[in-house]
Structure formats: structure tokens, C-alpha cells
A and B are shown apart, each in its own frame.
Chain A
Amino acid sequence: MAQSMWFPKLLPVTERSLLRPLLHHTTNPLLHSSTTSLRQSNLLPRRVSTAAVSPMESITVLMTCPPVHPYLVEALEKRFTLHKLDSVPDKAQFLSSHRDSIRAVVGNAAAGADAELIDQLPKLEIVSSYSVGLDKIDLAKCKEKGIRVTNTPDVLTDDVADLALGLMLAVLRRLCESDRYVRSGLWKKGDYKLTTKLFLLQFSGKTVGIIGLGRIGMAIAQRAEAFSCPISYFSRSQKPGINYKYHPSVVDLAANCDILVVACALTPETRHIINREVIDALGPKGVLINIGRGPHVDEAELVSALVEGRLGGAGLDVFQDEPNVPEELFKLENVVLLPHVGSGTVETRQAMADLVVGNLEAHFLNKPLLTPVV
């Protein structure tokens, strides 16, 4: 077999380990390349790499999101040449001087690859997102140009669903406020006045309405059911084989549930899916939970409804213009505000990073992508 004859002599260890899987690939160009046989006969100078498969260190990857996760940054830097757009002083100049080398983009919920960026990177082959949401990537443009897109589904489903329940419980049972109360030193013997003033409700048995019954929506439903919460939902179409009550419109769902959860993808159709009409239908005893994307909600309407008491409460992990949160919300006791921590656990972020790196490696090794979207 050809591989046992030339493989160990030609290539250094790192590339050997990269190429080994390829040698079993039926369309491996190396096995059929004429230059290979020439090299075998020592008529061509020994080369470290061939044009068909380059060592991954020379592949340039651009991280368009802030480099907030050391594990991911390290994993990428170990394998590729990584540039962080966030730390580049003149972005336009950088993009133009690197337009011919950047073959991959890594993004997240904050920044991805819009049409403008894609146009500036003619050698772009793949966009790997450190998120499940794809709203920061121009998917149509990627499809048009044959650019692959991957995300991080499944590995973060549990964390996001856990947090959605955590928000519901914290809002209804006034957990954060109770904690503030104790830390302020205000708790005195027999002081139960705290509880009579609050919009405070039992969580068990409340009707939970879910917008979007995908992986995350279903995981939320399964958890809420354990608290005897009846589940209802809105989706683009009714799902067969699902026992939960379907509502054909978001307003209808809002009018018939106690807690409304946004768990769908952000698309042009779902932008401001929570508007004034929906908020009014949810009402002064209703609670809104948003673990989707800030733009799912008309934030100005939400803020005024909460300030004026037209909405009972809200648990928000995402905002229109992160990291900026409307300050009118800071003094409200019936809201819980989180800095986009839906998938924010050590365990999950590592799994997400492994998927990002794994997808990139698979692409550059001509293997099937792990979690392709396009």
C-alpha cells in the first residue's frame, strides 16, 4: 500500500496525524497526485505540505465577536492563525489587507458575518458560530456563495432551559428582592410586611405559554410540567403528536397563559413578536420571560408597561442593545435582569467551543461537518 511506503518519510508528525483519516478517504487527491510519485522518486524537492491539504496553522480564522472565552481562543490559536477583529484598531484596513487569507469566521450572539463582511472576504469558506442563534449571520448570502455555516445546538439546550425556569421562579417568588432585603439588614423579627406588598405568586400550577417549541422550548416544557404547570404554545404550525395546547396567534397565547416565554429563533418574521398588543393580552398579572434575543421584544413598550404596572413582571436575559439595559428597569422589584448568561456555564461553554473547533477542523479536513446549518 502506498501509504506505508511514503507517508512516514515525507511528513512531520503533526501533519501525519491530520492526514491519517484522509488516507482512507476515497477521493483523497494525494493518493492520485502525479507530484506524489515524482516526490517519491526524489525528483522534486521535499515539501512540507501540498496545495491540496495545508497544515491548519496556516489557515487564517477571524473572530468577529469579542474574545471573551479563553478556552475557545486558546483552542483556536493552537490550531489556526487567529485574528481578533475586536482588538484591531482600523477594522477596514485590516479586512482589506487580510482579504485573501481569511478562510473562516468565528462569531457568537453579539457578532457574526453580515453581508458587508462576507463581501469583504472573498476566500471565506465557513462561518462557525459560538451560539445556536444565527441572527447575526446572513444565511442567504452564505448559501448563495457556498459558504458553510455551523452553530452549537443541543449542547446548550439544558442550560438555557434551566435558566428560563430559574427566571420564572425568581420573578414569581421574588427571590432576588428577598436576597437584597436580607443583605440590607432590614429583616426584623416578625416582619412579614415584605410579603404583603409584593406581586408574589405561587409558581406551581401556573400556565406556561411557550413561543417556539424547538429543542429549547421542549426542554422548558418538560421542566415546567414537573411543577404541574399546564403548557401551551405558539409555533409557525401546530406540531403533530404534541399534547400541549396550541394557539394560532401569540396574542391568543398571551391572553391564555400566566407566564409567556420567548424561545424561538430571531428572524425578520419574529422581530418584535412581543409587541404592545401581546403585552396588553398578558396583562398586569402576567410575566414575560425572554431567553431568546433582545429584538424579539419591543423593548420601549415593555419598559413602559412594567413601569406603569400594565405587565406583572419580567425575567430578561437578553436585550435590544446589549450590554446596555434600560435603566428604568433597575428600580423595579418585579423584574430580574441577567447579562445574557443563558449558556453561561463552564461545562456548556466548553462543549460549545469544542463544537466550533470541531466543525472548523472537519471542514478543513474535508470531513462531514458536525452541526451544519448551511
Chain B
Amino acid sequence: MAVTGTNQSPPALSATAHDGDDSLPVVLIHRFPTFTGSLFPSLPTHFRLLDLLTTDASNLQSASAILCVGPPPPVTPEFLDRFPSLKIVVCSSVGVDHVDLPECRQRGIVVTNAGSAFAEDVADYAVALLIDVLRRVSAADRYVRAGSWPVKGDYPLGSKVSGKRVGILGLGRIGSAIATRLAAFGCQIRYSSRKEKPSLPFPFYKTALDLAANSDVLIACCALTDETFHVINGEVMTVLGKQGVIINVGRGSLVDEKELVEFLLRGDLGGAGLDVFEDEPHVPKELFALDNVVLSPHSAVVTPESIGTLQDVVIGNLKAFFAGQPLISPVID
């Protein structure tokens, strides 16, 4: 539902955003106008929620807390200028690439993210995508549903998952969870990260290129920063090789999407499993015809369980903030 013209009010958030109980601490809700999903059901019990897009401007002066919901909306210096009393930005995502972190630091505004609320679900999804690409689960399911099995015969062979060399880009909570899972499949785990983690038993490579040279699969699950923008580029894909597989559950721009499409179309890459894209919800249509590619609409985090855990983390961070207690998941740069 697009918003046209400044006179029209944006569609309201369902149910929960209202001028509620005066005694509760105020939290401003920051969202894209097109996001109208319902908020965390338990939030209004603890806080007075004001929708930034509809609330009175006078409420912005004294507000100390902002909560970002839905597809992460940008937090820019101009945005921050509107809130002279702002002290905390609580994000509902793990990724905080939509927030100008240096600017927040300068202004003494602390930022929290989803912490480990999603780690398991994203890790599960990364493994799901990898098995799907290598064993052609979605493609073979399509084959059966099209009625092709009795007509065209056996489905072509896939590639073995167990024993593959898996290179994980970013060994944070999500990367570590992926490593634990794939190690149980007999995969040989190696990684690249900002800093080496000597306590973990996996070989470390300084660059994505070195990692790719020693891997059959690359899994991108690191934060998107200036340094990691297009970290998986044409050079990395070449070195990964014609049988190489790329799984992206981080941010679309970790991968040079244009190059990726060309490599896949030429057959210079073995396959890809993608949950994120450079310009969501636009997905390069050339990928739709490829059986060695699995596509999903940024849904790695979405399970009832993790949404519940996310709510706990969000409420926990806000409560801690208002009580002057240590935060649950501050983003420490």
C-alpha cells in the first residue's frame, strides 16, 4: 500500500499503536509506511507505544526510546536530529546495517539488536538451503508435482552433503550455530572472520578469497558493513569454482548479485541458496529457471518460536534501559 502525498496519513499499525496508559514509559515505533503487521502483542502491557508516522510532533521531544519494527527502516543523522532526548534505538533484527552506528555512538545513543533470538532459526535455514541446493530438494519436489516422474524417469543425481568443505563467512552466533550443525554431517568447517577465534577448532582464513580457495561451499552470515559490501565478488566466485555453492542468509549486498547471476547462467558456479537479495523484494528473474538455485523471501528468521524469543529480547532490552540495568543485546562496534 503506497503512500502518496504528505496529506494522506499512512496506514495505521494494527491494534497496538495507540495513546495508551500515561504511566508507562514511552516508546516510539519506527517503521516503513508500508509495514502494517501487528506488533509484539505483549508490548502495550509494559510501554506506551506511539507510532512515529501518526503521533503528535510534541511527543518526539521527550522520547528517549525508539523501536524499529518490520523491514528495518533507516536510522540516519537527519532522522536522529528529530529526537533530542533519544538514548536508545532498539532493533528487531540482527542486522543493524540500516543504522548509522558511528552517528549514534557520537550522540551517546545505544543500539540493541535481536541478539541470539534468531541464531538457531537462521542456522537451521542455512543448512536447509544447503541440503536443498546440493540434493535438489525443491527442484525434485517440482519434478514430482509436475507429474514428470512416471514420464521422464529417475531424477538426475545430486551432490553429497556429508564431507563437503564448508567455508563460513562470519563466525558470530549464527555462523557458530551453522558450524555445529554441519560438523555433525561430517562437513569440514573452515571460516573467515574479522578476528580469528583460537578457541574454535576450525581452520581460519584471513580473506574471503583464501576461504573460497579452500571450500566447496561458502555460507555468508556476517554483518553487512563497508568492509563486507560485495565480499563475495566475481574473483571469489571464480576461485570457489564450477562446483561451488553459495548460501546467503546475511544481507543481499554481501554478494555481488549481478556477477552471481552471470556465473550461474554460464554454469561457472555449482549453485546458490539465497534468502536475501540486494533490492528486496526484487529477485533477478533469470534465476527462476535454474534448478540449482533455491530462493526464499527473507524468511530465515520467521518461525513462531523465534518471533516469541524476539519479543522477549525486545521487551527485555527496553525494560533494562528504563530501569538503568545492563542491556541484553547491545551492539558493540
Contact = CB atoms under 8 A, between A and B. Distances in A.
B157 A349 contact: yes
Centre residue among B32, B131, B150, B288 by max chain A CB count within 10 A: B131
B19 interface: no
Contacts of A188: 281
Contacts of B124: 169, 173, 202-204, 227
A244 B131 CA distance: 25
Given A173-B124, A178-B296, A190-B71, A339 B155 contact: yes
A324 B150 CA distance: 6
Given A175-B294, A182-B283, 11 more contacts: A176-B132, A176-B138, A182-B297, A187-B280, A188-B281, A189-B281, A200-B304, A204-B124, A323-B149, A339-B140, A346-B157
A341 B158 contact: yes
Interface in A326-374: 327, 330, 336-341, 344-349
26 contacts: A68-B153, A158-B185, A159-B161, A162-B131, A163-B135, A175-B129, A175-B294, A178-B296, A179-B132, A179-B295, A187-B283, A190-B37, A194-B299, A200-B302, A200-B304, A201-B303, A202-B303, A323-B153, A327-B147, A337-B144, A338-B144, A341-B158, A345-B157, A345-B158, A345-B160, A346-B160
A227 B124 CA distance: 8
B51 interface: no
A341 B140 contact: yes
Interface stretch (B176-184, B222-230, B234-242, B261-269): B176-184
A344 B155 contact: yes
A195 B298 CA distance: 11
Interface string B140-151: 111111010110
Nearest to A194: B297
A226 interface: yes
A166 B184 CA distance: 14
Contact of B304 (A178, A202, A344): A202
B84 interface: no
Contacts of B121: 202, 204
Interface residues of A, number: 61
Interface residues of B, number: 62
A162 B294 contact: no
B150 A338 contact: no
- Closest 5 pairs between A and B when the two form their complex, measured CB to CB: A226-B184, A166-B131, A169-B128, A158-B162, A202-B305
Contacts of A330: 144-145
B158 A165 contact: no
Given A175-B138, A176-B141, A202 B120 contact: yes
Nearest to A169: B128
Interface string B278-306: 00110101001000001111010011111
Interface in A195-210: 195, 200-205
B160 A338 contact: no
B151 to A, nearest CB: 9
Contacts of A166: 128, 131-132, 135, 137, 161
A281 interface: no
A325 interface: yes
Nearest to B298: A187
Contact of B296 (A175, A190, A325, A345): A175
Given A170-B128, A176-B141, A202-B305, A162 B283 contact: no
A153 to B, nearest CB: 16
Contacts of B134: 345
Contact of B186 (A158, A179, A205, A323): A158
